[in-house]
Chain A
Amino acid sequence: MTVLKLVSVSAGYGETQVLWNIDLEVEKGCIVALLGANGAGKTTTLKTVCGLLPATQGRLYYNGVDITGRPVHETVNLGITLVPEGRQLFGKMTVEENLIIGSFLKRAKEHRARNLAWVYELFPPLGIRRNQIAETLSGGEQQMVAIGRGLMQNPDLIMFDEPSLGLAPLLVQEMFRVIGELHRRGLTVFLVEQNVHHSLKIADYGYVIENGRIVHQGEGKQLAADPTIRQAYLGI
């Protein structure tokens, strides 16, 4: 079953068009990766999906329902969660407050206690630092809060925007381990990454975006073996 479907979607900022007729599908229970260089349109794609940015053309479907033009506070209530680039925490609040805010959605409120316990189990350091002010955490811990906050929303589809950005190699591995764990729990994952190597290892399917257009797509292993992709993104 297709959870997310983009049909010929274009979007941009003001006069500048960034996305050109993007066609893309995310199957239920899969990890789908959207790969590409800086400025290719990865973040713009995610923002358009969750309604932070309006599509100027094309349609977006979520579980078969047309969600084109819906504002962000409505799409999240459908179960679409974005863990944004640069974490975007509420820096002056505590770890736990950040997590609680994630559970304000109607769909998540009743599961607050359960999800909170799960997040602390998934990220033990957060349990220890639950009363610490978020902006005083290390980069890796902040990323954990961002992911935890997303999980508190009780999502069906969770989208990550560069979760490995700025993290030490060990923490990058940790992030990918967690994403794999979420996948095993049945979540559908839409992953945007510059770290092509790690992403293709866990992704069921991948899209490669260049200058706002999808230029390659295929199963994760198949893309990883593709000579042009190996040359362009893996440096092999």
Chain B
Amino acid sequence: MLLLPQALVDGLLIGGIYITIAIGFSLAYGVMHIIDFAVGEWIMLGAFLGLYLSQWTQVEPLLLLPVVFVVFAVLGYLFQPVIHRVLSGKKGNPLLMALVFTFGLAIAFKGLGLTVFGFFSRSIPSAMAADSFTFVRGDFFVTIPVIRLIGLAYAIAVTLALSWILKRTDFGLAVQALAQNKEAAGLMGISAKRTNSWVYGIYVGISAMSGVLIGCMFSISAQMGGKYTVFSFFVVVLAGMGFLAGVPWAAFLLGMVQSFFLIYFDPGYTLLAVFIILYAVLLISPKGLFGKGV
């Protein structure tokens, strides 16, 4: 009972990380209907760019987040036409081809990472990593590492920014229009190619930024991608494929499950619990927690 506040707070903080790795993925799926298996690798590449940039410039890595975003948004924007080609192929099953293509991409990025960054784990040294707040009231106490709090704040900020863009800007309306009805969007003069490029750029940029943040909390390595791809996928499926507004709730749910398991049960079974929850939800509601997925 004494650990309950800590479990709740940890759940929120872990949920924040889940949001950061899943929100871009959900956006990309919702608009382009692409399941990008390389999401974890974008996170990994972003993390390493953050690491090297901060070593080179001696600047606090968290301040480099915008730089990492811009670099990877441009990369994603330039790279999207390749995916567009695969997705709009005439032969075979383009969706399946895209799946295989991004899977191959993930392997290629991982190989690239292993060659360039080496095999060993690193961490990104952030000045914020050591500090933490501790609240004590009577017998209850909660410890919050500052860096985790920043992570949560970042997750919320990105979520709010994305939903603002989608609801309040012409570009956002165009993205939504494209997601809902591709042909009608074309009739409105919305170029699917260009809009998708922007969306992919934003998604890759957000994922890469999240990598830097993750690197400040945990260790990073060239092989870290797979794990994050799986978790990102979890959150997005639980939220409902492509249902952006469901992502934070799904992320917090998974975060809570994980933190409660870590504190009250055997930490070794955490992943199992996460799997079972996902399985149970999908069994009851195949379109995600809110029934609003695709």
Q: Which A residues fall within an 8 A CB radius of B? A: 50, 52, 71-73, 76-77, 81-82, 84, 88-93, 97, 100-102, 104-105, 149, 153
A-B Cβ contacts below 8 A, count: 63
Q: Contact between B173 and A97 (Cβ–Cβ < 8 Å)?
A: yes
For B219, the chain A residues whose CB sits under 8 A away are none
Q: How far is A104 from B190 in the complex, measured between Cα atoms in Å?
A: 8
Say if the beta carbon of B161 comes within 8 Å of chain A. Answer: no
CB within 8 Å of A: which residues of B?
Answer: 170, 173-174, 176-177, 180-181, 183-192
Question: In the complex, given contacts A72-B187, A104-B189, what are 8 additional A-B residue pairs having Cβ atoms less than 8 angstroms apart?
Answer: A88-B181, A90-B176, A90-B185, A97-B173, A100-B170, A101-B174, A104-B190, A153-B188
CB <8 Å contact, A73 and B184: no
Question: Is there contact, CB below 8 Å, between A90 and B177?
Answer: yes
Q: List 22 A-B contacts (CB under 8 A).
A: A52-B183, A52-B187, A71-B191, A72-B186, A72-B187, A73-B190, A76-B188, A81-B187, A84-B183, A84-B187, A89-B181, A90-B181, A92-B176, A93-B173, A101-B174, A101-B177, A101-B185, A101-B188, A102-B188, A104-B188, A153-B188, A153-B189
In the complex, A77 Cα to B186 Cα: how many Å? 11
Residue in A88, A92, A100, A104 whose beta carbon sits within 8 Å of that of B184 in the complex: A88
Assess the B189–A105 pair: CB atoms within 8 A: yes
Known contacts A100-B173, A101-B173, A104-B174: does B187 contact A90 (CB below 8 Å)? no
Q: Are B184 and A84 in contact (CB under 8 A)?
A: yes
Q: How far is the CB of A162 from chain B (nearest CB, A)?
A: 15
In the complex, how many angstroms separate the beta carbon of A3 from the nearest chain B beta carbon? 18
Q: A102-B188, A105-B189 are in contact. Are A93 and B183 (CB under 8 A)?
A: no
**B248 shortest CB reach to chain A, Å:** 19
Nearest CB to that of B170 among chain A residues? A104
Contacts of A71 in B (CB 8 A): 186, 191
Q: Quote the shortest CB–CB distance from B79 to chain A (angstroms).
A: 22
Residues in A whose Cβ lies below 8 Å from that of B188: 76, 101-102, 104-105, 149, 153
**Residues of B close to A88: CB separation below 8 A:** 181, 183-184, 187
Min CB distance B208 to A, Å, is 29
Contact of A82 with B187 in the complex, beta carbons under 8 Å? yes
Give Cα A231 to B142, complex, Å. 85
Chain A residues in 8 Å Cβ range of B186: 52, 71-73
Q: In the bound complex, how far is the Cα of B181 from the Cα of A28, in angstroms?
A: 31
- A90–B184 contact, CB under 8 A? yes
Could you tell me if B173 and A92 are in contact, using CB atoms closer than 8 angstroms?
A: no
Query: In angstroms, how far is the closest chain A Cβ from the Cβ of B54?
Result: 40
- Find out whether the CB atom of A77 lies under 8 angstroms from the CB atom of B189: yes
Is there contact, CB below 8 Å, between A93 and B176?
yes
Q: How far is the CA of A84 from the CA of B186 in the complex (A)?
A: 12
Q: How far is the CA of A44 from the CA of B186 in the complex (A)?
A: 16
Write the chain B residue with the least CB distance to A92.
B180
B191 contact set on A, CB distance < 8 A:
71, 73
Contact A76 B187 (CB under 8 A): yes
Q: Least Cβ distance of A49 to chain B in Å?
A: 12
Pair A93/B180 contact, Cβ less than 8 Å: yes
Residue from A52, A73, A77, A92 having most chain B Cβ neighbours under 10 A: A73
B190 pairs with A90, CB closer than 8 A: no
B6 to chain A, nearest CB (A): 40
Closest to B174 in A: A104
- Per the bound structure, the CA–CA distance linking A50 and B187 in Å amounts to 8
Most chain A CB neighbours (cut-off 10 Å) among B184, B185, B190: B184
